[in-house]
Amino acid sequence: MRDATVAELRPNSLEHIQRMMRVKYALRFIPDVPYLKLYYRRNFGRWPDLKHPKTYNEKIQWLKLHDRNPRYTRMVDKLEAKKIAVEMFGAEHVIPVLGIWDRFDDIDFDALPDSFVLKVTHDSLSFCIVEDKAKLDLAATKAKMEATLRRNYYYIAREWAYKDVKPRIFAEKLVDDGHEGALWDYKFWCFGGEPKFYGIVSDKIGDGFCGTFFDMDQNPMPCCSVAPGRKDVPQPPHFSEMVEAARIASAGLAHLRVDFYDTPDQWYFGEYTFYHTAGFIPWDPPEYDRTFGDLIDLSLVSG
């Protein structure tokens, strides 16, 4: 597996992804099946097999079309997901919410602490880490948040679970895990209720995210999704507890990625994800697309 350069990361940069999201949203009039086929071919250079999917990314497309359990809508709603996590893991493992608003203009910034995170309930990547609210560009933040509130995230990659999530803004406590830079993100890939491997998003190169993958014995794996990360990342202090929490959260599901944050004193729930990178990012090396696809048992999908 080759190392990635900043230039190579640009196609997956936050700016590029957000631009592509706007383009895809403009094509929301196209029905799901042809839309997914077209974007799959654009990204991989071949048509997906949606009748007999074999690879991880093909099966993600299949799950979007066929696995439509109503509770998924609550699980991907970032506020409702916190309520579910409280029931599953306990309130001490859920980052506190500081306020909820339907409109940006309703936010009382004077009532918020000096540092916090602004998020929306129904989207991905539309967040704002505020380390010092005195330096916050309110106009730019308002423009970003209001544009997001007007958009149904489902139409961008046809991730069905997001279709009926109510758009809202909320602020949550800014958690510090002691690492330099952004909060490290621990992502557990679960299949049939069992975590099989996990990734640590520990760094950024330019404005592209990167991460390192490990098997459940905490050995580095020779694969990546989006961009490879550092190989010297220490293991999380509450690893076994997060593994058990991921097992509980994914019980009975064909596939679920469960994300956490970990600090020296406590681990925290991050989010539930049914469609990693919407099934449109190649695995490197490519054979892992089939390796991980074999882990998804579609017979577990009801109905």
Tell me the C-alpha distance between 223 and 215, whole Å: 11
For residue 4, what pLDDT is reported? 32
The whole-angstrom distance between residue 160's C-alpha and the CA centroid of its chain comes to 14
For residue 12, what pLDDT is reported? 47
Cβ-contact 4, 227 below 8 angstroms: yes
- Half-sphere exposure of residue 34: CA atoms within 13 angstroms, side-chain side: 5
For residue 23, what pLDDT is reported? 61
State if pTM tops 0.85.
yes
For residue 203, what pLDDT is reported? 66
Cβ-contact 285, 223 below 8 angstroms: yes
Helix (H) and strand (E) counts for the chain? 10, 11
Tell me the C-alpha distance between 297 and 284, whole Å: 22
- Half-sphere exposure of residue 203: CA atoms within 13 angstroms, side-chain side: 16
One-letter amino acid identity for 8?
Answer: E
For residue 16, what pLDDT is reported? 52
Burial of 295 (0-12, 13-18, 19+ CB in 10 A): middle
Collect all residues with Cβ–Cβ distance below 8 Å to 74 and sequence separation of at least 6. Answer: 80, 81, 83, 84
For residue 124, what pLDDT is reported? 80
Tell me the C-alpha distance between 205 and 298, whole Å: 35
| Residue 204 structure tokens | 């950024």
Strands laid side by side in the 97-101 sheet: 97-101, 169-172, 116-120, 128-130
How many C-beta atoms surround the C-beta of residue 277 within 10 A? 18
For residue 211, what pLDDT is reported? 80
Tell me the C-alpha distance between 7 and 12, whole Å: 10
Nearest to 272 by CA among 290, 291, 253: 253
pLDDT less than 70: residues of the chain? 1-23, 203-210, 227-229, 303
For residue 121, what pLDDT is reported? 97
| Residue 10 structure tokens | 């640009």
- 3-state secondary structure (DSSP) of residue 2: coil
Tell me the C-alpha distance between 65 and 47, whole Å: 16
One-letter amino acid identity for 122?
Answer: H
